[in-house]
Amino acid sequence: MTGRKPAIYLDYNATAPLRPEALAAVNAALAAPHNASSVHSYGRAAHKMIEDARQQVAALVNCPPAQVIFNSGATEGNNTVLKYFAKERILVSAIEHPSVLEAAPASEKIPVDKHGIVDLDALETLLKKNKTALVSVMMVNNETGVIQPVDKISALAKKHGALFHCDAVQAAGKISIDMSPGHIDFLTLSAHKIGGPQGAGALCLGICGITPTLLDGGGQEKKARPGTQNTAAIAGFGAAAATATRDLPPTATHTTKLRDRLENTLCKINKSIVIHSKKAARVPNTTLFSLPGASSETLLMAFDLEGLCLSNGSACASGSVKPSHVLKAMNAESAGTIRVSTGWASTENDIDQFLAAFEKIAARMNRKTVNA
């Protein structure tokens, strides 16, 4: 970025900037040889950092700390659960993250409606058809921000004898999560989506008494996740979780204000804009919109030149811009799609800059269409 003004970051759903509290915890942990399995003083200090983080992460989702298993992130957490049930019947929503969909290639898909909400009648029909071991539905979709009715989904799963897994990566820090009613058997979290470091996550266990595992070879995390713990990343995760828990209500109000202004102004600048899932319950930080007739790649590059970091919503891993399976499942327009996602450090000015850039880009595109 030398010689250019700092980029405006509006891609929190891909990864959030590290919170200062998390950075401090990471630095403190990296300052010494902190292997939590060692019995010496550094080992004991590392153990304490991890146990403190366990309490902080447990508080974020209201579950007992002993039910939190640290791992490398949500891709691992989702794989751990889905692969554990690989030989049994699994139902997953059509809009899950690839770390669920590809970890359970034989799973049957639960459709969603045009707003991107899981179809409860279709779920019940599927559950009635055959015995199901596991239902997996995310709490919040990473592309649209739609909040799924997980209480109802879990109740249906339980009624038909299935366990319930919930990928809560995009819900954490945005809405409150409460595992205490016992409706969620397995819940996955990722540190870097809440302002913690990349490379740490957690699988939180409910009351079913099953501990799915993926790896063999060590006693860490009570044998549920062997391998030397990533003390620094886990400590940073804990600090981020504590801050996210503390700041949840003011952040939600602030991001809702930013989102409403963003969406209202967007629709005024260009009347043909489609804001996806506008009528559904959504987390306040996410806006997914399509500009019919435009291409996502061109828009993303144009925004990048204006110094704005955005996403098309579905390019999580490869950097490629491929059509969204989420919008496809919703039967929605997917050309010219852009996702704006804000978070703990987002400001009014970020939104102003985005809107100014959009106005400029939209006017340029308009001129090109008129002159074509």
Which amino acids are annotated catalytic? 316
Least CB distance to ligand PMP at residue 356 (A): 28
Which residue of the chain is nearest ligand PMP when measured via CB?
Answer: 73
Q: Select from 117, 138, 179, 361 the one that contacts ligand PMP (CB under 6 A).
A: 138
**What span, in angstroms and rounded, lies between the C-alpha atoms of 14 and 283?**
15
Please report whether residue 99 would count as binding ligand PMP according to CB under 6 A: yes
Least CB distance to ligand PMP at residue 152 (A): 20
Closer by beta carbon to ligand PMP, 93 or else 132 = 93
**What span, in angstroms and rounded, lies between the C-alpha atoms of 244 and 211?**
27
Backbone dihedral angles phi then psi of residue 227, each to the nearest 5 degrees = 120, 140
Please report whether residue 71 would count as binding ligand PMP according to CB under 6 A: no
> In whole angstroms, what separates CA 150 from the centre of its chain?
15
Q: Which amino acid is residue 320, in one-letter code?
A: S
Half-sphere exposure in the Cβ direction for 16 (13 Å, CA): 33
Please report whether residue 190 would count as binding ligand PMP according to CB under 6 A: yes
Q: Which of residues 75-94 bind ligand PMP (CB under 6 A)?
A: 75, 78
- For CA atoms 259, 265, 268, 273, give the dihedral sign: negative
Q: Select from 56, 93, 148, 170 the one that contacts ligand PMP (CB under 6 A).
A: 170
**What span, in angstroms and rounded, lies between the C-alpha atoms of 160 and 330?**
26
Q: Select from 173, 195, 196, 201 the one that contacts ligand PMP (CB under 6 A).
A: 201
Least CB distance to ligand PMP at residue 61 (A): 15
Please report whether residue 313 would count as binding ligand PMP according to CB under 6 A: no
For residue 86, give both structure tokens.
């690989």
Nearest residue to 273 via CA among 282, 261, 265: 265
Please report whether residue 16 would count as binding ligand PMP according to CB under 6 A: no
Closer by beta carbon to ligand PMP, 21 or else 143 = 143
Please report whether residue 142 would count as binding ligand PMP according to CB under 6 A: yes
**What span, in angstroms and rounded, lies between the C-alpha atoms of 306 and 17?**
20
Give me the torsion for CA of 237, 240, 242, 243, rounded to 10°: 180
- For ligand PMP, the binding residues (CB under 6 A) are 73-75, 78, 97, 99, 138, 142, 167, 169-170, 190, 201, 316
